Amino acid sequence: MGATPIPDRRARHGRSLSNKKEDSVDYTFLANLQQEFALPEKGILSRVLHKDEHANVTLFGFAAGEELSAHSAPTPAVLYFLEGEADVQLGDDTVHAQSGSFVYMPPMLPHGIAARTALRMLLVQMKAPSQAH
């Protein structure tokens, strides 16, 4: 719609402006999450891609055999698996995740991840609007 594509593979942070200041919107654009970092040979690597009062978005890379032990979080979250395979604990269940797998987790659901292979995963933590009165 008249917009020029941005071919850059690096993160872009910007502001989309209209004629009215109250209509401006901040955004983050990454052309290819697979190219954000090389998967680690050992350990777990994480990079925060976006963080504000609405959401926290983190890209994770796991070496094969690495585990993130069971824990819970006070906010709803989404896991999206971009590359590799993992066993994912969700409460009392364990599911097999692979490239393209999606998980929605409600607040306080115990969860953990065990990478079967080198793994790239996106975590999106959603924050509830403040209850200001």
Q: What is the pLDDT of residues 13-51, one digit of tens each?
A: 555 544 455 556 778 888 898 888 899 999 999 999 999
The matching CATH number, chosen from 2.60.40.3950, 2.60.120.10, 3.40.50.300, 3.30.300.30, for 36-126 is 2.60.120.10
Q: Does the predicted TM-score (pTM) go above 0.85?
A: no
Please tell me the distance from the alpha carbon of residue 95 to that of residue 91, in angstroms, as a whole number.
11
Q: What is the pLDDT of residues 57-113, one digit of tens each?
A: 999 999 999 999 999 999 999 999 999 999 999 999 999 999 999 999 999 999 999
For every residue of the chain, which 3-state class applies, written as one string?
Answer: CCCCCCCCCCCEEEEECCCCHHHCEEEEECCCHHHCCCCCCCCEEEEEEEECCCEEEEEEEECCCCEEEEECCCCCEEEEEEECEEEEEECCEEEEEECCCEEEECCCCCEEEEECCCEEEEEEEECCCCCCC
Please tell me the distance from the alpha carbon of residue 58 to that of residue 47, in angstroms, as a whole number.
6
